[in-house]
Chains A and B, each alone.
Chain A
Amino acid sequence: MMLETSTANGEIITGSVRLIHAAGMHARPAVKLTKLAKKFHAQISIRASEAADWINAKSVAKVMALRAARDSVIEIKASGTDAEAAVAALVDLVATDFPDTGQ
């Protein structure tokens, strides 16, 4: 788990976190990640490997299509006013294995 701030090109906050969910990034985790991402104004992108294209973390279809396996490292980057909070929240969601929030 790490957070990093780059100010080179606007402010882009990045983070990465290992996916510990037993089933990988399947439907339920994808829905939770998307719902959480949508709570932020920041533009948020994720990818599940360095070779993969960045995808919009607010698009449930794209997040579901990630098919990231268990133990893959999810990279997250965000820009915008609440980017730092967004990356921290998403890293936490994955790191804590997508807990039920009772919503």
Chain B
Amino acid sequence: MNDMVGIVIVSHSKDIAKGTADMVRQMVGSEVRVAFCGGDPDGGLGTNVSLIIDAINDAWSPKGVAILVDLGGAETNSEMAVEMLQPERRNLVVVCNAPIVEGAVMAATEAAGGSSLEQVRAVAEELSAG
């Protein structure tokens, strides 16, 4: 099988991040790499740059990684995480402007078909374009 774009889910809540990843695995299948992170290290709500970097590296694929986020800080911290990646990986990671659950399921469905990172992002973002 060809490489598939990986998916990273970043929520303020670890439960939401994990639940979204479960939905992707159950609905789309386990052939797409999915990683998630959420919550601060003390168990509260929040997002954390180094955990996001770990998740990106976990979901890594030569075709790239699409990140789905929930609110404000998840997006800015994800962008910061991308900036801190190894230079050769930076251009292969995008933060999608899409609702986290629907975007993750649709992005993973597109990724499972072997689509490029740009196609995966476009499918996830179709939801907010309408």
Q: Flag whether B27 is at the interface (Cβ < 8 A).
A: yes
Distance (whole angstroms) from the CB of B103 to the closest CB of chain A: 10
Distance (whole angstroms) from the CB of B81 to the closest CB of chain A: 27
Number of interface residues of B (CB under 8 A): 15
Number of interface residues of A (CB under 8 A): 13
| A65 CA / B49 CA spacing, docked (Å) | 35
Contact surface of A with B, Cβ cutoff 8 Å:
27-28, 31, 34-35, 38-39, 58-61, 64, 103
Q: Flag whether B28 is at the interface (Cβ < 8 A).
A: yes
Contact surface of B with A, Cβ cutoff 8 Å:
27-31, 105-106, 109-110, 112-114, 123, 126-127
| A46 CA / B46 CA spacing, docked (Å) | 42
Number of cross-chain contacts by CB at 8 Å: 34
CB neighbours (8 Å) of B105 from chain A are 27, 31, 60
26 pairs, CB–CB < 8 Å, chain A vs chain B: A28-B27, A31-B27, A31-B28, A31-B105, A31-B109, A34-B113, A35-B28, A35-B29, A35-B109, A35-B112, A35-B113, A38-B112, A38-B113, A38-B114, A39-B113, A58-B113, A59-B123, A59-B126, A60-B106, A60-B109, A61-B106, A61-B123, A64-B106, A103-B29, A103-B30, A103-B31
| A34 CA / B112 CA spacing, docked (Å) | 10
CB neighbours (8 Å) of B27 from chain A are 27-28, 31
Distance (whole angstroms) from the CB of A10 to the closest CB of chain B: 24
Question: Taking CB as reference atom, which chain A residue is nearest B112?
Answer: A35
Distance (whole angstroms) from the CB of A41 to the closest CB of chain B: 12
